[in-house]
Amino acid sequence: MPLMRALLPVVMLVAVVGMVAVMVVSGSARNPITFMFPLLMVVSTLGMMAGGAGGTTDVGPARRDYQRHLASVRRAVADAVGMQRASVVHVHPDPRDAWTFAGTRRLWERGPGDDDFGAARIGTGPHQPATPVTPPAVAAPEKLDPVSAVALRHVVRSARTVPDLPVAVDLRAFPVVSVGGDAEPARALVRAIVAQVAASHHPEDVAIAVAGVGPEWEWIKWLPHNARPGQSGKSEKPGPELLRAATVPELADMLDGMEAELVMVIADARDLDRAPEHLDLLLGTQRAEGGTTSVLAVPADPGGETAAAAVASGLALSVIDGRVRAITAAGEEDIAAADALGAAAAEALGRRLAGQFVARSRVDAGPLHDPVLAELGLAPPPGTLRFRERLGPDRLRIPIGVAAGGEVLHLDLKESAEGGVGPHGLCIGATGSGKSELLKSIVLALAATHGPDQLNLVLVDFKGGATFLGVEGLPHVSAVITNLADELILVDRMQDAIRGEMTRRQELLRQSGNFPGVAEYEAARRAGRTDLKPLPALVIVVDEFSELLGHRPEFAELFVAVGRLGRSLHMHLLLASQRLEEGRLRGLDSHLSYRIGLKTFSAAESRSVLGVPDAHHLPATPGAGFLKTDAGAPVRFHSAYVSGPVPEDAGRPASARGQTPGARVVEFVAMGGTAVGDGSSLDDAPETTSPRTPSQSILGATVDAMAGHAHGAHRVWLPPLPARTALADAADSSLAPLTASVGLVDRPLEQRQDPFLVDLSGTGGHAAIVGAPRSGKSTAVRTMVASLALTTPARKLHVHVIDYGAGGLSDLAALPHVASVTHRGDADKLNRVVSAVAGEVAAREERHRRKGWHTIADARAGGEPDVLLVVDGWPALRQEHQALGDRVQGILSDGLAVGVHVALTAHRWTELRPAVRDLMGTRIELRQADAIDSVVDRKAAKLVPDSPGRGLSPDGCGALIADSGPADIAEVAHACLARGDERVPQLKLLPERVGWAAVSGAVAAGSVAVGLDEESLAPVRFDPDRDRHLLVFGAAGSGRTTALRTVVEGMLRTRPTCKFLVVDYRRGLLGAVPEDRLAGYTGSPAVAEPMVAELAAALRGRLPGPDVTPERLRARDWWEGPDIAVVVDDYDLVSGSRGSPLTPLGEFIPHAADIGLHVVLARRTGAATRALHDPVLGAAKDQGATGLVLDGTREDGPILGVALGQRPPGRGTWVEHGRAPRVMQVALPPETATEAGQEKEGDGDAIR
């Protein structure tokens, strides 16, 4: 709702209240009528608010969703149109390309049994889409969103027709085809029709004759279709007799009794107009049973007898201005843009086809004449196989071999209720028995007789995969799964895939109308249910199933499930193996209704398969076997052989094999030319290229013939996840903010692979990435951050990276979202990053309370960005910096509520404490060192490959994290900057040198500015009245003397009455205190002892006696004199083996506040833990003295609870009673005149 609209009622109410107040103040309130106008304003305001509640809503999101839906529909329509166009153009290519068929598998590909036999293209025009778009039922127009309604109409209108697809006519359906209009375009169209028919139909199936036409049709003589069959050698004229005559009666005599399925006659329409009876004479010639004659009359006169006959009983066409029009009794209709073929191109085609003819009767006998292959239509293998739906008894009934009596043996996979012997079977055959060849024959027979819409195949070979080598190109194949013995992980994946297919079929039957089985579903589809997609039968062939069950016994449960449900789901199982071991068929026996036994290793195996020992006594000839069904005794047969090569003579022209019987060598004279020389033997003619290479097998040739099928099988088995996927392939910038696609998830049970999505916007706001060493944890972090950068603008996400691993996250600094990248050796920066994020959590909690943001959604709407802290190597960070680990755990506990996220990596889940692990809503589990460590799925964890990036999704599916290198990160950074992202403010770090002026002016009176706080970058102060004592620890060169000088300088300026007793054995503080402020200065033990003794005596006199009242204690007026600050540098030297001269002061430190004593002491970190038991140090520590821990080594142990580590000079941890330790940088003291020209003795600190 717009802001002004929301505020307007409030403004009006305020105005009413103000008006009433004015009237009361002015005295007008005495008259009641004066209240009528404010009352009317209140009523109108309430009415407006009530009316506004039913106002219009924002339709923008719904409109965008609908537009996205329409865009997906457009893409689906475009894909369907592309597939339809490819299919139709494949069947009816451009006539100008007909010459390319010569010498290829497509030459004469159509046979009398094909649906497109006799069909010829006449041009291109609009078609109805194969997949129509049906608009949904909509409400009344006035209730529709106009933008969406217009977009829907555009989509429906664009999908109404498919333009420029081939338009074909079936010549067998039209005895007369007249082509009129412009004479030359009409002839060009007829040439195109003739060229198509000649290139796609065998000369023995189609004859092309010419009657009484001019020289423009001379080129037809080159076509083998124009030769009169069976006349070679019988004519007195040289060469074969041609089907051409000057008059129609002569041609009719030649055509009478021809056996061709289709006879095309090219005739001059003008001649036919003059003698209409000639048309009847041509159409009355006797044809073989089922044969037809089609007369193409050109150029036709629209008013002539021939055109009239075509209108009445044929097809009348007119070609005008390049368009083909159909002439009917009702008028003319434009149907297509006319095809055209020039005379030169037609003659070139005729000459090219002249040497291609080979009579089918002359194909040499050989493997191609196997009766099984002949029944399948594979003798010889055709150039292109066309599938026809097989129904009733023919469905799933295939020839597999030749029985003992010579008849073809069929295997019917349908169940017994449908007259078959299926649905499931067993095949056993020893090595060399021909088992693999039999399985190939069964697969090929199924594919050759059924289309992919009626039958799909899943082919499984547990061993090497040679059984099904070469069949993966079949369009029927849903999956070819081989070599499982070497990759057992694929076995479980295959089990999920088959179970998923069963589930998919059951769900499809339920959603489509609760069909009890696929048979009922398919019956409904054939009855007119256009919304039902084909659900083909699925034949699962498993070779070496015995070994499969040996490695995975639980797979038997899947086979039993398929056996039980396969009948209704049309899923058929064929199990094959070399041996049949006892117990392997437990539970399966009752589901195997047919059994094939080839030669077995033993009679016992034969008896287990067939019930008789006959299979063991079979000859060693491959392919010999028995088929046993429930109907009777085993039937002996010999299987087909499809792996043999296609004979060299199959499909080659006669000229390539030598002179055929009856052929004569004659002199050839071209039209209008002269003799070129003596006749020569046909053996001297150049060979025409064979459509198939001699080495190609029958199987390979048949697979190639099916390769052009437009629609493939449903993919039951998707390829396994690749070894690597790139960030560019996995990332998706269209996802919602704080959502990242980091890789792929493999879901074989659902037959899909999904993006691996990480969503940090909700309960999954914290992420844990856990995996063994070298499993890809750092890469996963890099990918996640880069993918988040693509989906979330920099103004909405700030990232801090702690790289506590091998430095693999440095490249992330290039992203505009990244505020800092910190490495393992930079302890101070580590502390600064954690402190900054922890401070951000606290600041946000306060800000959310102040602004009334109750949820993180309110904060994001208010423009507050989310913060992501990445810790790569959490266990190491926790071990080396326990305090930082505790602070990160605090961020985990409190951060998610205010939009602060944490992503951690670890080697195993046990390295994350339960309190931390429970907060991780997003868990990415990579390969584990031991599967027992998995918290997702221990069984699935055993199957994770030993490859970087591989792991498990939260639901236990296999996952692959995308790889992301420096180039990928740079590309993402470039994309983010290109869309307008600005770099987030970089994390401010403590400077290595802090001047006195930067801190001295921002402290309270009486306090001493010591340095700069890392978290707030504010001064760190020491309050002598509150803290009393300061202990400084640091190694040589850490800056502890400088810290003392800074504190002394601050106390000199803020406490003008304080006196200083300086113990400085190395003269580092020489000149730090002016003479008038010195109570004493000593650089040796000899002077220190009496000086301290004198001070102790003075302090003892300040101790309150029994006569001091409580009031005087509070006022501290029972003694007079200045406060005394004892400043000691190098206390480790002062408290030597002879004892500390400061020991007498130990008894006064607990009373320091009463007697005006301050101790400021510095010492080395070595043995500092033991030194804390010293009377002076111990007493100061027990009294809650403030501490400053500078640089030191880990071996010296924690001091004041602070772990030691390498730090730059002056960098330390400020430890205050009642507050968390803070990292700070000591400020440099101002130079004084007394310091000038003096050198420091013995300490060697880099900072003074």
- Residue 1037 known to bind ligand: yes
Name the strand (E) or helix (H) holding 548.
helix 545-551
Q: Is 435 annotated as a binding residue?
A: yes
* Residue 87 among known ligand-binding residues: no
Q: Which of 85, 70, 81, 84 is nearest to 154 (CA)?
A: 70
| Cα 1223 to Cα 1215: distance, rounded to the nearest angstrom | 9
Question: What does the block give as tokens for 452?
Answer: 């992919």
Q: Is 434 annotated as a binding residue?
A: yes
In angstroms, the CA 100 to CA 121 distance is 17
Hey, is 866 helix, strand or coil? Answer: strand
Cβ pair 171, 120 in contact under 8 A: yes
1039 is in an annotated binding site: yes
Tokens of 516: 């009890």
Strands (E), 1106-1167: 1124-1129, 1157-1163
The span from the first CA to the last CA of the chain, in angstroms, equals: 64
Per residue, what are the HEC states of 842-873?
HHHHHHHHHHCCCCHHHHHHCCCCEEEEEEEC
1036 is annotated as contributing to ligand binding: yes
Known binding residue 314? Answer is no
Q: 772 labelled as ligand-binding? A: yes
CB atoms within 10 A of CB 426: 25
740 is in an annotated binding site: no
In the numeric block, the tokens 């006799």 are attached to 118
Count of beta carbons in the 10 Å neighbourhood of residue 842: 13
CB count, 10 Å around CB of 527?
8
Distance CA(867)–CA(902), nearest Å, equals 8
292 marked as binding residue: no
State the burial class of residue 421 (Cβ atoms within 10 Å of its Cβ: 0-12, 13-18, 19+).
buried
- The answer to whether the bond into 694 is cis (omega within 30° of 0) is no
Q: Determine the residue type at 413.
A: L
Is 695 labelled a binding residue? Answer: no
Residue from 1120, 1012, 1142, 1006 nearest 1065 by CA: 1142
Instruction: Give me the residues paired with residue 268 across strands.
Output: 298
- Closest C-alpha to 550, from 580, 572, 573: 580
Flag whether 429 is marked binding.
yes
The response to whether 74 counts as a known ligand-binding position is no
- HSE-CB for 828 with a 13 A CA cutoff: 22
The 3-class secondary structure across 331-368, one letter per residue, is EEEEEEEECCCCHHHHHHHHHHHHCCCCCHHHCCCCHH
Distance of CA 1185 to the CA centre of its chain: 61
Please tell me the distance from the alpha carbon of residue 590 to that of residue 566, in angstroms, as a whole number: 13
- Which residue is catalytic, options 544, 547, 605, 925? 544
- Residue 776 counted as an annotated binding residue: yes
Q: Is 544 a catalytic residue?
A: yes
Q: How many CA atoms lie within 13 A of 529 on its CB side?
A: 15
CB 573 within 8 A of CB 542: yes
Other beta carbons less than 10 A from residue 906's beta carbon: 22
Total Cβ atoms within 10 A of residue 10: 11
Q: Is 1038 annotated as a binding residue?
A: yes
947 annotated binding-site participant: no
Is 1034 annotated as contributing to ligand binding?
yes
1041 known member of a binding site: yes
Query: CA–CA separation, 254 vs 285, rounded Å?
Result: 9
Strand, helix or coil for residue 563? helix
Q: Is 269 annotated as a binding residue?
A: no
Burial of 999 (0-12, 13-18, 19+ CB in 10 A): buried
How many other C-beta atoms can be found within 10 angstroms of the C-beta atom of residue 473?
13
- Residue 470 known to bind ligand: no
Rounded-to-integer distance, Cα 360 and Cα 373, Å: 16
Q: How many Å apart are CA 555 and CA 553, to the nearest integer?
A: 5
Q: Determine whether the annotation assigns residue 464 to a binding site.
A: no
CA distance 1166 to 1035: 7
Q: Which phi and psi angles does 306 have, rounded to 5°? A: -65, -45
3-state secondary structure of 300: strand
Q: Output the six-digit token pair for 155.
A: 């989509």
- What does the block give as tokens for 819? 């505020």
* Residue 419 labeled ligand binder: no
Binding residues for ATP: 429-436, 771-778, 1034-1041
Binding residues: 429-436, 771-778, 1034-1041
Q: Which residues are catalytic?
A: 544
